[in-house]
C-alpha cells in the first residue's frame, strides 16, 4: 500500500515537471509578442510594407511541414532581400504611411519582392534535388561496399554465414543430401 502511494507521488512529480517545462518561457514569449506589437505600431509604415512584401514567406511558413522549416527559411531570406531596397527607400524618404502605400501600389515593387521569393522557391527546389541525388549515390556506393564485404566474409568463413542455408532446430546448417549412388553389386535379373 505504501509503495503504491510512493509510486503515485513520484509519477505526480514527473508530470508536474513536464507541465512546468511547457510553461517555461511563457512570460518571455508574451513579453516579446507585446514588444513586437508595440514596435509594429510605432513603425507602421515599415510594418505595412513588410506585411505586403513578405506574404510569400508567410505562405511558405504554413506550407512547409518539415521540422526545421528549411523552405520557409530559404524563401524568407530571398523575400527579405527583395523587400530591402524598398524598405531603404521608405526610410530615406520620410518613413510615412503615404510613402509606404505609394511603394506598395507600384506594380514593379511588388513584382521584385515576389520574384525574389520565387527565386527562394527555386533555390529550395534545386537544392532538394541535388541533395537527394548525392544521398542516393552515397547509398548506392555504401550498398556496393557492404555487398563486397559480405562476399569476402562468405569466401573466408563459408557460405554458412550468408544466411541462405537452411538450418536445423539447433541452428546448425543442414547439408544438402547427395543423391544416393546405385549399389553396384546388385543385378536386376
Residue ranges of the domains in the chain?
42-128
Predicted TM-score (pTM) of this structure: 0.63
pLDDT at site 21: 52
User: 70-92 and 97-105 are packed helices; what angle lies between their axes, rounded to 10 degrees?
Assistant: 120
**Cβ-based neighbour number of residue 184 at 10 Å:** 5
72: cell is 520557409
Distance CA 102, CA 154 (A): 76
SS3 17: helix
Q: From the DSSP assignment, how many helices (H) and strands (E) are in the chain?
A: 7, 0
Helix (H) or strand (E) holding 48: helix 44-53
Which parts of the chain register pLDDT below 70?
1-24, 176-189
Distance from first CA to last CA of the chain, Å, rounded?
A: 89
CA 32/CA 51 separation, integer angstroms: 18
pLDDT digits (tens, 9 = 90+) for 103-121: 999 999 999 999 999 999 9
Q: Which residue has the cell 504611411?
A: 97
Which pLDDT tens digit goes with each residue over 67-102?
A: 889 999 999 999 999 999 999 999 999 889 999 999
Q: What is the pLDDT of residue 170?
A: 84
The predicted pLDDT at position 139 comes to 97
Amino acid at each position: 500500500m505504501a509503495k503504491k502511494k510512493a509510486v503515485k507521488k513520484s509519477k505526480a512529480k514527473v508530470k508536474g515537471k513536464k507541465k512546468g517545462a511547457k510553461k517555461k518561457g511563457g512570460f518571455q514569449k508574451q513579453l516579446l509578442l507585446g514588444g513586437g506589437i508595440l514596435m509594429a505600431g510605432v513603425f507602421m509604415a515599415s510594418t505595412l510594407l513588410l506585411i505586403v512584401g513578405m506574404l510569400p514567406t508567410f505562405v511558405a511558413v504554413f506550407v512547409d511541414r518539415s521540422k526545421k522549416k528549411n523552405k520557409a527559411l530559404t524563401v524568407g531570406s530571398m523575400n527579405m532581400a527583395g523587400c530591402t531596397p524598398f524598405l531603404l527607400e521608405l526610410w530615406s524618404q520620410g518613413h510615412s504611411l503615404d510613402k509606404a502605400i505609394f511603394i506598395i501600389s507600384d506594380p514593379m515593387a511588388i513584382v521584385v519582392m515576389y520574384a525574389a521569393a520565387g527565386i527562394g522557391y527555386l533555390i529550395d527546389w534545386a537544392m532538394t534535388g541535388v541533395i537527394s541525388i548525392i544521398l542516393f549515390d552515397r547509398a548506392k556506393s555504401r550498398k556496393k561496399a557492404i555487398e563486397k564485404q559480405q562476399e569476402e566474409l562468405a569466401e573466408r568463413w563459408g557460405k554458412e554465414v550468408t544466411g541462405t542455408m537452411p538450418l536445423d532446430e539447433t541452428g546448425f546448417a543442414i547439408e544438402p543430401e547427395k543423391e544416393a549412388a546405385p549399389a553396384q553389386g546388385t543385378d536386376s535379373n
